[in-house]
Structure 1
Amino acid sequence: MNFIKKNQSSEIQKNKYDTEVKLRNFAFMTTEELLSHLSVTQKGLTREEAESRQDEFGKNVITAGNKNTTLHRLLEAVINPFNIILLLITIITYITDVVLSSRPDYLTVTIILSLVVLSSLVAFVQSQRSNAAAEKLSNMISNKAEAWRDGKLTEILIDEVVPGDIVRLSAGDMLPADVRFLTAKDTFIAQSALTGESNPVEKFSDIRNQPSDGLTDLLNIGFMGSNVVSGSATAVVLVTGNHTYFGSMAKTLSNDRSKTSFERGVGSVSRLLVRMMLVMVPVIFLINGIAKGEWPNALLFAISIAVGLTPEMLPVIMTSTLAKGAVSMSKHKVIVRSLGAIQTFGEMDVLCTDKTGTLTEDKIVLERYMNLHGIDDARILRHAYLNSYFQTGLKNLIDLAIINRAEQYGLVDMLGNYTRVDEIPFDFTRRRMSVVLTDTTGKRQLITKGAVEEMIGISSFVEMDGKVLPMDEETKRAALAVYEKHNADGLRIIAVAQKNEVPESGAFSVADERDMVLIGFVGFLDPPKKSAKSAIVALREHGVRTVVLTGDSEGVALKVCSKVGVNTSHLLTGRDVEQMDDAQLLDAVKTCNLFSKLSPSQKERIVKAFQTAGHTVGYMGDGINDAPALRQADVGISVDSAVDIAKETADIILLKKDLMVLEEGVIEGRRTFGNIVKYIKMAASGNFGNMISVIVASIFLPFLPMLPVQILTQNLLCDFAQMGMAFDSVDDEYVKKPRRWETKSIKSFMAYMGPLSSVFDILCFAVMWWLIGANTVELSPLFQCGWFVFGTVSQVLVIHMIRTSKIPFLQSNPSIPLLVSTFAVAFIALGVGFSSIAVGIDMMPLPTSFIPWLVLILAGYCLFAQLIKKIYVKQYGEWL
């Protein structure tokens, strides 16, 4: 094994080295040498060339380290702690029952293997179903790239990108492969996934590399797995898929994600059950061996008890329930990227969300274009239009609103009079973007638009009444008064500025955005969604607090939030957050539900503060500025129309940007969690009770209370009964509040329900011994049949007692699958116990005189279970 691992490690290192050498060679080639080497021109590839290269290089996907294969899912279904225990028991049983026995008996071995095959098969089928559903929906949210094909800029799926493709990149884009930049304008790349660097790195098109630079320090090379934070660029694709630097590292980067609280909880209960079994089974073996003197039978009995105590259906129930949850959520247009996120979704008690498109219609309409007196002025619209039209970066909803309005007013004709010289792209630090234009007379002009405060910060002049005046306190106050008035009315305001003193040549940069002339404002309206208020109320009723984190100004945020039911009595801005230390922010998040004018890092910091306060936080966002907060949140939520990096970071993708969809997902997450907890509490308490019963029986009975083959048959029947639990309904009261994993709750539940089942097991022993008369070794098959029937039917009934805090069937109905699985097993157990079929597993058929006693004991068990339930709820406040 070590040898294989060393070979794999050396192969990974070799692939990584080869990739580094190749990329380094590309970095130091001239542009002409590079394009010639890749057999491509600046116009890109033809469709035929692209198809030929895809045949040669394959799809642009990373398969190394990919665990989502059919073989991996099959191995995951088969290899788990419980199946391993059962397989070890099978080997021991085969040796004792077949190899060392004078009369080989394959029945016990067959039943144990049937348990393994059954649990593995169900787990695998459910996993396949879940994967198929996820893949089907994932096709709807595939990330795309813009590449030059047949001389035109074409949008293609990222997995269709091939070496030699010329791609255009702008803010928010994921790098589709390893690339060499051909042009770059203020292009900053976040490559922390590869290097761990928190700060974005600026990239350039010319060769500024030093031979001593590390691979990720090469300034003209971009890597798959990184994303554009700001700026724009064109690049040529060098290598794709497994041949990329990220692909060469995939196996070393594909470490398992950290486990959620739920997975840790399930693991702790699994270990508890296994420890109980490992301790109690030897005790049972010794008691029976010493008391009865039949050590071989005692060993077989102990082995059978081990099988009975092994919750082999736990992986099945978990996989089935989570898969059902994923499929159910997909019907509500919610794509779950990892099954574990379902439960975290249900555990969420704070939802942090951006405002635009979630609380609003995401249909921004240009309402006002006004000068600094607040009077509509077509010149302001004209300047805003030139800025939005000629910028080559990501055209957001504001740009599109400006362009649409300008086209309605016939301003398209003037575009022919201007030529774009350069641009200074938008970023979330400056919160503005600029274009440099030249007109037909040769006059140059810099036009900038952006957030009002940032624009005032770079303006030295204002234009009022056709005159350019210095910006002093009076003119600044007048301009801000117009802004604040319309902002308070709910308009989202951006400022427009320009200047004519522009250098004749050379590249333009942020340094040129100074001494601007502020000329006016453009105002937009993004009306609140009709469904937003009811969705926030519904989330609140289900214990989820909605907190708005927005980059918008206070006025717009207040107006929208007050209309949709978010508490706006306490508002903090990004400036306020910046001045707070962690302790102050921790105190602030207790009451504040609206944070405005936030930077990306501030959003991330607020999410972290909520987590520190003990909340499970969901974050919903779709922009580049949301990526840090999405990563930080316990569950990241995005939409299919989001920028690439937001979709890549999110755990859950919505195909419909609506909080109502979220509320449905939260409820489904809690239902999923509830059904898993039902099984775990039932298995834990049932196993604990069985141990007590077996120890009591082993001490006082002159024979085994049940033979190994009978225990295994009973176990098989009970497993069938429990399979319906994954599809059970959950009481409305249960999904009303967030649910967290509580291991202590499992232990206290065991302490109450375990001994209760033992009491009624012992009552069954008493009835069989004194009233039915099965009190000799010769009549032990009759005694064993009585406990077999009672044990099976009581375990079936207790499923219905445990599944709800209410009175089963009267106040809470189970799902049809659970009803069918449980009652079918109960009828089979009764049919076996009261007929000659019992002889087939070494039992004697029960007399009809046992029926009233069976009904009485079962009724008593259900009655006392309901009574214990009330005591437990009074003590702990909840049942499940």
Structure 2
Amino acid sequence: MRTGLTQDEVSIRMQEGLSNKMPQAPSRTIWEITRTHLFTTFNFLNAILAIAVLIAGSPKNALFVGVIITNTIVGLYQELRAKATLEKLSVLNVAKVDVIRDGREQSIAAEELVLDDLMILKPGDRIAADAVVQSEAMLEVDEAMLTGEADPVGKHEGNSILAGSYVVAGSGCAKITKVGSDTYAAKLAQEAKRFKRINSELQGAVNKLFKVIMWLVVPIGALLVFTQLMFTHGKWQEAVVAAVSGIVSMVPEGLVLLTSATFVIAIVKLAKHHTLVQELPATEVLARVDVLCLDKTGTITEGDLDLIEVRPLHGRTLEQVEHALSGVVHTLPSMNPTQQAIRDRYKQAPNVSVTHKIPFSSDKKWSGAAFESIGAWVVGAPEMILQEEYALIQDLVEQEAHKGRRVLLLAQVDEAAFAEDQLAHPQMAAILLIEDRIRKEAPEALRYFAQEGVTIKIISGDNPITVSAVAARAGVEGAEHYIDARTLPQDMELLQQAVDTYTVFGRVTPQQKKLLVQVLQSKGHTVAMTGDGVNDVLALKEADCGIAMANGSDAAKAVSQLVLLSSDFSVLPRVVMEGRKIINNLEKVSVLFLSKTVYSVLLSIIFSCILMPYPIMPIHVTLIGSLMIGIPAFFLAMSPNKERVRPGFLKRVLRSAIANAVILAGVTLTMFLYASHSGLETSEARTLAVLVLGGSSLVVLTRIARPLNGLKIQLVIAMLTLFTAAFLTPFGSELFMLTTRTLSHTAPALALVALTWPMLSLSNRLVKRLV
């Protein structure tokens, strides 16, 4: 009799740290998330500028700092919310484990297991730590979560079993050999511990712009501060505020906020379709993906099997065959996937008396039962039941196997031998055809990606022939091109050729999955990877966009950017469409923000050179930036847009922004010089400059909003109305530091605004030719 560990031995191991306490999933801490969003160069710069304005005694000109706060809150909220949702999904699956301690059975928490504990395993149990099977134990273990292999694996005395796998048949004891972070599953998860920021072209473009802007801000800002203090003959406070205005205008802070806000809105929409987005730009990246790597089980298939045909042989009737088959599957205790598929078809057990039964095991690959009235019957692998007579149906079995089907044989056997657990004189009664259950929505989703030019690669730990047939049934183009990953070349050049040649990769190890993703990326592809098991973690982490299933492992969910809460990958087309809308619309509205950046750089340089007061104050920047850029950009970013994403985002945006900025800076400079030479005070000249810059910005907005529809026209009219109210209402003119004593000079100002449209058309054509 097994006694297991004593309580003293357990206590010693606990003190030595040899318990099954699992390491945290590889996700970021709250402090790491907060630090990422709070301590940025962008926030630091704007904070310094806001302090300078406050010291200068003009708090209303520090309103721009609100954008920093809002942008930080939006990013923090989304990532912390995703972390909280994921932790709710990560409730420990192994609540209790049965062990033998002090000679008796006990039920303990999985984390209380220690090295050398004796686990008691039975069908349905999830294995909580790596262990070795003890004598007299016979187990059928599902290791799909770890290896990707769909078929249960037989385990006998001395065989290793791994944490995270499931017992599907048999029972017995296993001695724990590795616990906690030493288990195979934990080590795979630890390899993915390093946090990897998602590869977002939008964020990359914005970051590049900020780097350039930061290099420009220091010299231009210093020059502007110097000239405003030394040569404009105003108070130092006015000079500081004016200099800050020029610097603030150069930074497209609203673009960062709009990008984050747009992502959050998309995330909220996707949440309604049971999709958890863990990083803001994940929808954008998926919209850019041109290679989608899928596992078979859980994505293309449901993970369950279907009995699609029962074909009687040698004169047996279907009724006789079904009666015997139903009796066998309802008699046996084991519930492996194959048996479940048969029971799903024959839900009612026949009224027969059982005299003997033999459960399924991986060594004999069949199971059976003997009945008083109808004799002994077995069902299982044809080659194991028929032995030397297998050649009679070998061609049929191989033909169906190439279609992705599993062939089982139902046979009547000698009852006396069966009572002695032997198989003798099998008489073929019927063949059973069983296949993986394709997800109903899978063909449509795969068809969508094919139409959108996304290449599908099936990467699975299962048999490549089976995977190929399943992929073909689901509609994967090129599914007939398959390879056993064990035969893949080591040479990188040959491996790249293999990746191009084959669509289906079977018998793939976790490290090979990661390598295949890297090879695809080395060829310039943007790669998304779906997975649910620990065996997928390395590839999920390496992919540009990792997509995990909610019913998968905690490690897979922790390293992925998207988690499909319904474990249904057919929602991915919705994610792609949301991403396309975000990218294509943000490309349009980015022109608005970057036009402001470029014309602010031009104006700062020009007014530093001509030694005149800067024409726009920070509060004016807030007015124009809100009405002509920020508010309308938000609504434009929500417009429907299903166009395919094109590369070259930054080049196209800068080309249009430069063309617009030259004209906007030109008309603003012209108006300010005209007003100054007409004898107007600086405040009056600034009011006219704001009128021209704001009006011209409205023209740019109207051009970008094309094609115009009812809602867009209403948006433009609303912004025009609010802008006009800022000049004509006492509250508006006081808040935004505008004077109404310049009404007599509005005619030339409005004339300049009217000329903006043809000048913008000409400028855009010239820049497109030159750039």
Q: In structure 1, how many angstroms separate the alpha carbons of the residues matched to 2:767 and 2:427?
A: 69
Q: Which residue of 2 aligns with 1:337?
A: 278
Q: In structure 1, how many angstroms separate the alpha carbons of the residues matched to 2:598 and 2:571?
A: 41
The one-letter amino acid of 2:196's match is R
Structure 2 unaligned regions, length at least 5: 13-20, 101-107, 147-153, 415-425
Q: Which residue of 1 aligns with 2:694?
A: 792
Instruction: Please state how far the C-alpha of 1:343 moved relative to its aligned partner.
Output: 2.3
Instruction: Please state how far the C-alpha of 1:700 moved relative to its aligned partner.
Output: 3.7
Contact 2:458 2:504 in 1 (8 A): yes
* Residues 135-284 of structure 1 aligned to structure 2 (within 5 Å): 135=84, 139=88, 144-145=93-94, 147=96, 163=112, 227-228=164-165, 255-262=194-201, 263-284=203-224
Contact 1:350 1:617 in 2 (8 A): yes
Structure 2 residue 442 is the aligned partner of structure 1 residue 469: no
Q: In structure 2, how many angstroms separate the alpha carbons of the residues matched to 1:556 and 1:700?
A: 76
- Identity score, percent: 18
Q: Which residue of 2 aligns with 1:595?
A: 504
Q: CA offsets, 1:182-203, max 9 Å, x none?
A: 97969899999xxxxxxxxx99
Structure 2 residue 677 is the aligned partner of structure 1 residue 775: yes
Q: Which residue of 2 aligns with 1:725?
A: 633
Instruction: Please state how far the C-alpha of 1:308 moved relative to its aligned partner.
Output: 2.4
Q: Which residue of 2 aligns with 1:857?
A: 752
Q: In structure 2, how many angstroms separate the alpha carbons of the residues matched to 1:342 and 1:755?
A: 30
Q: In structure 2, how many angstroms separate the alpha carbons of the residues matched to 1:82 and 1:654?
A: 33
Instruction: Please state how far the C-alpha of 1:785 moved relative to its aligned partner.
Output: 0.4
Matched pairs, number: 720
Structure 2 residue 65 is the aligned partner of structure 1 residue 116: yes
Q: In structure 2, how many angstroms separate the alpha carbons of the residues matched to 1:494 and 1:854?
A: 87
Q: Which residue of 2 aligns with 1:85?
A: 45
Q: Which residue of 1 aligns with 2:265?
A: 324
Q: Which residue of 1 aligns with 2:254?
A: 313
Given the superposition, is the C-alpha separation of residues 343 and 764 from structure 1 closer, same or farther in structure 2, using an over 3 Å criterion?
A: closer
Given the superposition, is the C-alpha separation of residues 283 and 575 from structure 1 closer, same or farther in structure 2, using an over 3 Å criterion?
A: closer
Q: Which residue of 1 aligns with 2:664?
A: 760
Q: In structure 2, how many angstroms separate the alpha carbons of the residues matched to 1:530 and 1:254?
A: 35
| Pick aligned residue for 1:367 from 286, 308, 312 | 308
Q: Which residue of 1 aligns with 2:244?
A: 303
Instruction: Please state how far the C-alpha of 1:518 moved relative to its aligned partner.
Output: 13
Instruction: Please state how far the C-alpha of 1:663 moved relative to its aligned partner.
Output: 0.6
Instruction: Please state how far the C-alpha of 1:631 moved relative to its aligned partner.
Output: 4.4
Q: In structure 2, how many angstroms separate the alpha carbons of the residues matched to 1:402 and 1:79?
A: 59
Q: CA offsets, 1:218-253, max 9 Å, x none?
A: x99x8xxx74499999789999999x9999xx9999
Q: Which residue of 1 aligns with 2:344?
A: 404
Contact 1:288 1:699 in 2 (8 A): no
Given the superposition, is the C-alpha separation of residues 264 and 170 from structure 1 closer, same or farther in structure 2, using an over 3 Å criterion?
A: farther
Q: In structure 2, how many angstroms separate the alpha carbons of the residues matched to 1:678 and 1:356?
A: 40
Q: Say which SS state the counterpart of residue 809 (structure 1) adopts.
A: coil
Instruction: Please state how far the C-alpha of 1:777 moved relative to its aligned partner.
Output: 6.1
Q: In structure 2, how many angstroms separate the alpha carbons of the residues matched to 1:636 and 1:284?
A: 47
| Pick aligned residue for 1:586 from 486, 493, 496 | 496
Structure 2 residue 561 is the aligned partner of structure 1 residue 651: yes
Q: Say which SS state the counterpart of residue 524 (structure 1) adopts.
A: strand
Q: In structure 2, how many angstroms separate the alpha carbons of the residues matched to 1:600 and 1:494?
A: 28
Contact 1:359 1:528 in 2 (8 A): yes
Instruction: Please state how far the C-alpha of 1:666 moved relative to its aligned partner.
Output: 1.0
Given the superposition, is the C-alpha separation of residues 757 and 255 from structure 1 closer, same or farther in structure 2, using an over 3 Å criterion?
A: same
Between 1 and 2, higher relative CO (CA 8 Å, sep ≥ 6) is seen in 2
The one-letter amino acid of 1:687's match is T
Instruction: Give the TM-score normalised by structure 2.
Output: 0.73
The one-letter amino acid of 1:111's match is N
Q: In structure 2, how many angstroms separate the alpha carbons of the residues matched to 1:535 and 1:815?
A: 37
* Residues 568-579 of structure 1 aligned to structure 2 (within 5 Å): 568=478, 571-574=481-484, 578=488
The one-letter amino acid of 2:574's match is E
Q: Which residue of 2 aligns with 1:833?
A: 727
Q: Which residue of 1 aligns with 2:4?
A: 31
The one-letter amino acid of 1:90's match is A
Q: Which residue of 1 aligns with 2:290?
A: 349
Given the superposition, is the C-alpha separation of residues 542 and 779 from structure 1 closer, same or farther in structure 2, using an over 3 Å criterion?
A: same
The one-letter amino acid of 1:402's match is I
Given the superposition, is the C-alpha separation of residues 787 and 775 from structure 1 closer, same or farther in structure 2, using an over 3 Å criterion?
A: same
Q: In structure 2, how many angstroms separate the alpha carbons of the residues matched to 1:174 and 1:784?
A: 73
* Residues 408-557 of structure 1 aligned to structure 2 (within 5 Å): 408=348, 410=350, 414=354, 417-418=356-357, 463=386, 468-469=387-388, 475=391, 478-487=392-401, 491-493=405-407, 522-526=432-436, 531-549=441-459
Q: Which residue of 2 aligns with 1:9?
A: none
Q: Which residue of 2 aligns with 1:20?
A: none
The one-letter amino acid of 1:31's match is G
Given the superposition, is the C-alpha separation of residues 830 and 36 from structure 1 closer, same or farther in structure 2, using an over 3 Å criterion?
A: same
Given the superposition, is the C-alpha separation of residues 94 and 851 from structure 1 closer, same or farther in structure 2, using an over 3 Å criterion?
A: closer
Structure 2 residue 599 is the aligned partner of structure 1 residue 689: yes
Instruction: Please state how far the C-alpha of 1:383 moved relative to its aligned partner.
Output: 12
Q: Say which SS state the counterpart of residue 547 (structure 2) adopts.
A: strand
Q: Say which SS state the counterpart of residue 388 (structure 2) adopts.
A: strand
Instruction: Please state how far the C-alpha of 1:81 moved relative to its aligned partner.
Output: 1.7
Q: Say which SS state the counterpart of residue 292 (structure 2) adopts.
A: strand
Q: In structure 2, how many angstroms separate the alpha carbons of the residues matched to 1:364 and 1:801?
A: 57
Contact 1:640 1:655 in 2 (8 A): yes
Given the superposition, is the C-alpha separation of residues 801 and 625 from structure 1 closer, same or farther in structure 2, using an over 3 Å criterion?
A: same
Instruction: Please state how far the C-alpha of 1:306 moved relative to its aligned partner.
Output: 1.6
Q: Say which SS state the counterpart of residue 335 (structure 1) adopts.
A: strand
Instruction: Please state how far the C-alpha of 1:671 moved relative to its aligned partner.
Output: 2.5
Higher mean C-alpha deviation, range 679-688 or range 121-130: 121-130
* Residues 599-610 of structure 1 aligned to structure 2 (within 5 Å): 599-600=508-509, 605-610=515-520
The one-letter amino acid of 1:759's match is I
Q: CA offsets, 1:443-468, max 9 Å, x none?
A: xx9x9967xxxx97xx7xx72xxxx5
Contact 1:623 1:646 in 2 (8 A): yes
Contact 2:71 2:257 in 1 (8 A): yes
Given the superposition, is the C-alpha separation of residues 63 and 88 from structure 1 closer, same or farther in structure 2, using an over 3 Å criterion?
A: farther
Instruction: Please state how far the C-alpha of 1:692 moved relative to its aligned partner.
Output: 0.9
Q: In structure 2, how many angstroms separate the alpha carbons of the residues matched to 1:848 and 1:78?
A: 45
Given the superposition, is the C-alpha separation of residues 74 and 359 from structure 1 closer, same or farther in structure 2, using an over 3 Å criterion?
A: closer
| Pick aligned residue for 1:612 from 500, 522, 542 | 522
The one-letter amino acid of 2:681's match is L
Contact 2:486 2:508 in 1 (8 A): no
Q: Which residue of 2 aligns with 1:198?
A: none
Instruction: Please state how far the C-alpha of 1:780 moved relative to its aligned partner.
Output: 2.1
Given the superposition, is the C-alpha separation of residues 64 and 148 from structure 1 closer, same or farther in structure 2, using an over 3 Å criterion?
A: closer
Instruction: Please state how far the C-alpha of 1:485 moved relative to its aligned partner.
Output: 3.3
Contact 2:95 2:109 in 1 (8 A): no
The one-letter amino acid of 2:618's match is I
Structure 1 unaligned regions, length at least 5: 1-28, 40-59, 98-104, 152-158, 193-201, 209-218, 425-431, 501-516
Contact 1:348 1:738 in 2 (8 A): no
